[in-house]
């Protein structure tokens, strides 16, 4: 028996190279009449990132960001970017060819959060880009893609995105 695909998770890093990955996720969702979950994970800053921000921004600004939900505001902006990206990519499509899209933006380690969201939403397949570029210009499997494929109990489609 061939498993039904009712939910497709598209993992986005908002890079330029994500268009072919998104197109494949949409195509898969469209083919099966599935819902599409767009997921973007914001990694926490860590000590180095926090130090850099504190070095270059006035103390009041840093405090305001930390106290007044600056991270929540930034994550909401990312969510809007994902909505805009999907709308732009699908603007030529007729409404019946556009899958139902749900956007998730969360904070954490990308591979863990992608798998968590996939499991919590009973996703049938994860679609993500396969490649990252090393400092030497070579193409290799990205860390997040490697971790998801190694640890996920859900099938993963890796799409070449090194173009």
Segment 69-110, tens digit of pLDDT:
567 777 888 899 999 989 988 888 888 888 889 999 998 899
Q: Whole-angstrom Cα distance, residue 109 to residue 114?
A: 9
The DSSP H or E segment spanning 8 is strand 7-12
The Cα 141–Cα 128 span in angstroms is: 11
At residue 46, does pLDDT exceed 70? no
Is 47 or 134 the better-scoring residue by pLDDT? 47
DSSP assignments along 92-121, one per residue: TS-GGGSPPEEEEEEES-HHHHHHHHHHHT
- For 121, the token pair is 């939403």
pLDDT surpasses 70 at 53: no
* 67 phi and psi angles, rounded to 5 deg: -85, -40
Residues in the chain: 163
Q: What is the mean pLDDT of residues 114-131?
A: 93
Which one is predicted more confidently, 64 or 139? Answer: 64
> Encoding tokens for residue 151?
């640890």
Measured between alpha carbons, how far apart are the two ends of the chain, in Å? 36
What b-and-e string marks burial along 54-81, b requiring 16 or more CB atoms within 10 Å of the CB? eeeeeeeebeeeeeeeeeeeebeebeee
The answer to whether the pTM exceeds 0.95 is: no
Query: What's the confidence (pLDDT) of residue 134?
Result: 43
Residue 14: the pLDDT is 81
Tokens of 103: 């956007």
For residues 156 and 130, the answer to whether their CB atoms sit within 8 Å is: no
Per-residue pLDDT, 45: 64
Mean pLDDT calculated for residue range 31-60: 77
Please check whether residue 8 is in contact with residue 155, taking contact to mean a CB–CB distance below 8 angstroms. no
Model pLDDT for residues 126-152, shown as the tens digit of each residue: 999 986 544 444 444 578 889 999 999
**152 by DSSP, 3-state: which?**
coil
| Structural domains of the chain, with CATH | 7-159 (3.40.50.620)
Tokens representing residue 109 in the block: 């380690």
């Amino acid at each position: 028996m061939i498993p039904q695909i009712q939910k497709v998770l598209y993992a986005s890093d908002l890079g330029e190279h994500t268009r072919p990955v998104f197109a494949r996720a949409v195509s898969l969702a469209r083919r099966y009449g599935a819902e599409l979950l767009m997921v973007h994970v914001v990694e926490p800053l860590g000590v180095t990132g926090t130090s850099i921000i504190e070095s270059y921004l006035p103390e009041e600004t840093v405090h305001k960001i930390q106290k007044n939900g600056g991270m929540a505001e930034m994550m909401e902006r990312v969510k809007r970017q994902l909505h805009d990206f999907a709308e732009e990519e699908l603007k030529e499509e007729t409404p019946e060819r556009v899958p139902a899209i749900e956007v998730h933006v969360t904070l954490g380690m990308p591979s863990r959060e992608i798998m968590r969201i996939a499991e919590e939403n009973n996703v049938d397949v994860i679609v993500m880009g396969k490649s990252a570029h090393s400092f030497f210009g070579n193409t290799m499997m990205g860390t997040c893609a490697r971790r998801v494929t190694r640890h996920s109990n859900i099938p993963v489609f890796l799409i070449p995105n090194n173009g």
